[in-house]
Amino acid sequence: MSEYRTETDSMGELQVPADALYQAQTQRAVNNFSISGLAMPKQFITALAYVKQAAAQSNCELGHLDKKKAQAIERACQEVIDGQHLEQFPIDVFQTGSGTSTNMNANEVIATLASRYNDDLVHPNDDVNMGQSSNDVIPTTIAVSSVINVVYELFPALDQLSQMLERKKAEVGEIVKTGRTHLMDAMPVTFNQTLNTWQHQVDTAMAAIRHSLDGVSALAQGGTAVGTGVNADPKFAEQFCKNLTTNVGIRFTPSKNFFYNIGSQDAIVSLSGQLKVLAVAQMKIANDLRWMNSGPLAGLGEIELEALQPGSSIMPGKVNPVIPEAAAMVSAQVIGNDATITVAGQSGNFELNVMLPVIAYNILQSIELLANSSRALADKAIRTFKVNQSNIDKALAKNPILVTALNPVIGYAKAAKIAKQAYQSGQPIIDVAEQETELSRAELEKLLNPTKLTQGGL
């Protein structure tokens, strides 16, 4: 048998691999876009199949598509949703800015599969793409894939991280440690206060992401080429969202302005911005963990992260904070992805944004990376770290900043003198304060009690 077959489109004949489910337009895109070797993400292809499935159902229900053809298309789409045939979507991310090549790739693959389940041939354009344009399909698919993966992947991971921080607070929360500002000794804090800060960052970021989904879940589908809805039934958009909501299990609605969704990607830019906030929060958590774990002898050594792997190819016994390092790199990648999405979002030229594939690739990568790194932080860093009580107590006892508590009693100038003397002599602050003031040891123990100082007030 020949390794190729001949396919024909509006531009003429083309050789296509004999076993390919796609047809001529996909092959032209494969030939034209040998740029990165990066295909569109699996999550995007799955969402695109959901879009085609809901479109077929809707066109059938509205009386425009033969029932047997519609059922064959739905069956073919379900195979893609179930993870089959992903190798049939080879087109490079860096392609035509509308994503037309990927839309036609899906139309052709689904048409080929559906034709196997139907007496008549199913046409990629006339049947699978009925009432649609790449210009509303691809923005819709970006939105649907983003919402699906935030709801089903990222939110559960963030819930897991938040719950793990809650558990750790119950385990070590009452322990008092030296606080730090400018990386320098400051007033004491509890582990509860430190962990609660991280948890609040995670929860606040999650709430903002959730709010941004309101705009993302209002879809472009039904606007077709430029937003006017040409060649689509006026009832299509509403019916489409109804079917998609049922199929996916997440509520989607038609946009109130199709021109907005097709000409701009502002809703996705907003979502990406909130993912960046989460990345910044994750970077703070990762860096705090690294600093607290530093040493173990010449650093802070306040905590001991779980030893997961050897840390050096030349220094025996070295163990590194690999999970916080990985999480920090994820944060850097997500921040970079947001910059790409921001630039791409500016490319809404008149009635169409023309950087849709790279927006899709980056937003989905950000969601996936943050979900995976959140789980890793929860399971392999927060859950398992141990507190080095002796190191904490030693540093806390000699922390000259504790003298701040004496300001209302002896004044700032006297307190500063005591702090310098304690630092220079290496003595505990309470010993120097007893020597330099008329306060009794009992009074000083009460005033300089680290636990009391974490509670604020006079």
| 361-374 pLDDT, tens digit each | 999 999 999 999 99
Residue given tokens 């689509």 in the structure block: 232
* DSSP reduced 3-state for 252: coil
Identify the pLDDT of residue 458: 81
How far apart are alpha carbons 183 and 188 in whole angstroms?
A: 13
- Catalytic residue numbers read 182, 312
179, β-bridge pairs: 186
Tell me whether the omega of the peptide bond preceding residue 296 falls within 30 degrees of 0, making it cis: yes
How far apart are alpha carbons 52 and 112 in whole angstroms?
A: 14
Could you write out the DSSP letters of every residue in 53-111? Answer: HHHHHHHHHTTSS-HHHHHHHHHHHHHHHTTTTGGG---BSSS-TT-HHHHHHHHHHHH
Identify the pLDDT of residue 188: 97
150, β-bridge pairs: none
Identify the pLDDT of residue 1: 56
Q: Select from 299, 290, 275 the least CA-distant residue to 381.
A: 290
Could you write out the DSSP letters of every residue in 127-148? Answer: IITTT--HHHHHHHHHHHHHHH
For residue range 118-152, list pLDDT tens digits in order. 999 999 999 999 999 999 999 999 999 999 999 99
Give residues with Cβ within 8 angstroms of 376, minimum separation 6.
Answer: 323, 326, 327
Distance of CA 178 to CAs 195, 324, 363, 391, 417, Å? 14, 21, 39, 10, 20
Give residues with Cβ within 8 angstroms of 184, minimum separation 6.
Answer: none
- pLDDT tens, residue order, the chain (458 aa): 579 999 999 999 999 999 999 999 999 999 999 999 999 999 999 999 999 999 999 999 999 999 999 999 999 999 999 999 999 999 999 999 999 999 999 999 999 999 999 999 999 999 999 999 999 999 999 999 999 999 999 999 999 999 999 999 999 999 999 999 999 999 999 999 999 999 999 999 999 999 999 999 999 999 999 999 999 999 999 999 999 999 999 999 999 999 999 999 999 999 999 999 999 999 999 999 999 999 999 999 999 999 999 999 999 999 999 999 999 999 999 999 999 999 999 999 999 999 999 999 999 999 999 999 999 999 999 999 999 999 999 999 899 999 999 999 999 999 999 999 999 999 999 999 999 999 999 999 999 999 999 999 98
Tokens found for residue 171: 């385990």
Tokens found for residue 359: 């927006």
Are the C-beta atoms of residues 454 and 189 closer than 8 Å to each other? yes
Tokens found for residue 323: 């999970």
